[in-house]
Amino acid sequence: MISLFAARSARDTDTGSCATRLAIGVGLLMVGAIAVGVVIVPMAAFNPGIITAVGGLRCTSDESVQQAQSSGYAEDSIPANYLEIYREVGEEKNIPWNILAGVGQVESKHGRWDGPGITEGHNAWGAAGPMQFGALDGSAAGNSWGGKPVMDAEDRPEEGYGQDGNDDGVVNVYDPADAIPAAADYLIAHGARENMREAIYGYNHAWWYVDDVLGWAEQYADGDFETSGSIQQAVNCELTTKGAPIGQAPDELTQDVVDWALAQRGKPYLWGGTGPNAFDCSGLVMRAYESVGASIPRVSQDQWAFGPKIPQGEERPGDLVFFDVEGPGGSPGHVGMVIGDGLMVEAWCTDCGPIAVREYEAPGRDILGFTRPLEHRDVKAQLANQSQ
């Protein structure tokens, strides 16, 4: 069931998130044993051509998603009208058609499930239609569809994902021609071009659901199917959409910090990791400052308290951006390094792919604030002693 009504939570603890003060001791003990076996994703594994834009970046990729061919199983098991819509919407929206088909299978068996709310009415949570959009005001599922489940196209409100996908003048949550493109837009709005697993998680907040959808997507594809192209792009991006190099810091020292952090892209996330083979979020930024001889605290909560704080809108490359995702009392559970143009480099979570560049003002990201460690008096003293 689609989950627009539920705020995206912090990463589930069993999938990995930024290390906390209480857990860091265990994490550090494990790093030495675990990191040795971690496989590093080499930068050379990615295509060096810069030919397309993702978010605020110009990155490496094909200009459009390479749609998988339909497997024999897909041809035999997906109703012909649904298969045609999945493929057409995938091409139009630039999203893998078989991911949409995976969602359709898990939510309603492509409209064939005989439970409530598939072809009329709502289920017990207020979800409706083959893609199970929340379509009832005041229900647990809310109204992510927007407006009535079935309405004239001219009555469609600004809010919600409902649309007239087949141009018949009606916005109908029960019509797959309307519901499937709406589901595609929902996934895109929740980061499908950046991280497909996270986008599917946004559709229904459970990692088993993500695995289920991807499992069906693999069965529907003829041959191997890969969803990590956008992560590869973020790993290999070198230019902003304006053609300027990313991560241009205001001074040489800060540039060294930013360059060190960017050089870690492609390495995997590891809870409790402080390098050199893998990192968690706070471990990455700590080591970046350490590379120039600056010592900052180890975990994100202490890094936030360390400061000094910078007003939003005045952040610049080298600053740290903190997110209120799991820390108690407003303390942050995640941190990234600002590299300019609304972008940061971060180690996000186990299921989120390797260290990469992403936008920090993205849907579902609650920014707590920014700090500038190089302006801390202790760091200034450390750097001054080195220069003597």
In this predicted model, what pLDDT tens digit does every residue of 101-125 receive, in sequence order?
Answer: 999 999 999 999 998 999 999 999 9
Task: Return phi, psi of residue 133, to 5°.
Answer: -80, 140
Task: Specify which residues 322 forms β-bridges with.
Answer: 335, 369
DSSP calls for 239-251: EETTSPBS---SS
Name the nearest CA neighbour of 38 among 309, 264, 368, 356: 264
> Residue with structure tokens 């627009």?
4
Averaged over 345-362, what is the pLDDT?
Answer: 85
Q: Name the least confident of 150-154, 157-161, 191-195, 247-251.
A: 191-195
Write down the pLDDT at residue 245. 87
Q: Distance between CA 230 and CA 109 in Å, rounded?
A: 28
Query: Residue 45: is its pLDDT beyond 50?
Result: no
Its sign, for the CA torsion 105, 108, 110, 115, is: positive
Rg (the chain; Cα; Å):
23
Query: Residue 23: is its pLDDT beyond 60?
Result: no
Q: Distance between CA 224 and CA 179 in Å, rounded?
A: 27
Q: Distance between CA 72 and CA 141 in Å, rounded?
A: 35
CB-based contacts of 211, cutoff 8 Å, min separation 6: none
Average pLDDT, the chain: 82
Write down the pLDDT at residue 163. 95
pLDDT bracket for residue 362 (50, 70, 90): confident
pLDDT bracket for residue 226 (50, 70, 90): low
Write down the pLDDT at residue 64. 56
Q: Distance between CA 107 and CA 299 in Å, rounded?
A: 39
Write down the pLDDT at residue 295. 97
Query: Residue 333: is its pLDDT beyond 60?
Result: yes
Q: Name the least confident of 137-141, 185-189, 192-196, 312-316.
A: 192-196
pLDDT one-digit tens code per residue, 164-212: 999 999 999 999 999 999 999 999 898 887 778 888 999 998 889 999 9
Name the nearest CA neighbour of 260 among 187, 188, 317: 317
Higher pLDDT, 33 or 146: 146
Contact at 8 Å (CB) between 280 and 245?
no
Q: Distance between CA 336 and CA 322 in Å, rounded?
A: 7
For 131, other C-beta atoms within 10 Å of its C-beta total 30
Long-range contacts of 250-255 (CB under 8 A, 24+ apart): 250/316, 250/317, 250/318, 253/292, 253/374, 253/383, 254/317, 254/318, 254/374, 255/317, 255/318
Task: Return phi, psi of residue 340, to 5°.
Answer: 100, 160
Higher pLDDT, 39 or 332: 332
pLDDT more than 90, % of the chain: 60
Higher pLDDT, 12 or 20: 20
Residues 174, 178, 184, 185, Cα dihedral to 10°? -110
Write down the pLDDT at residue 387. 77
Side chain identity, residue 200:
I
Write down the pLDDT at residue 59. 61
pLDDT more than 70, % of the chain: 78
Write down the pLDDT at residue 350. 75
Contact at 8 Å (CB) between 352 and 320?
no
pLDDT one-digit tens code per residue, 62-104: 445 678 899 999 999 999 999 999 999 999 998 899 999 999 9
Name the nearest CA neighbour of 172 among 150, 146, 194: 150
Q: Distance between CA 179 and CA 164 in Å, rounded?
A: 9
Write down the pLDDT at residue 326. 57
Write down the pLDDT at residue 119. 95
Angle between helices 196-203 and 207-220 (to 10 degrees): 120
Query: Residue 2: is its pLDDT beyond 80?
Result: no
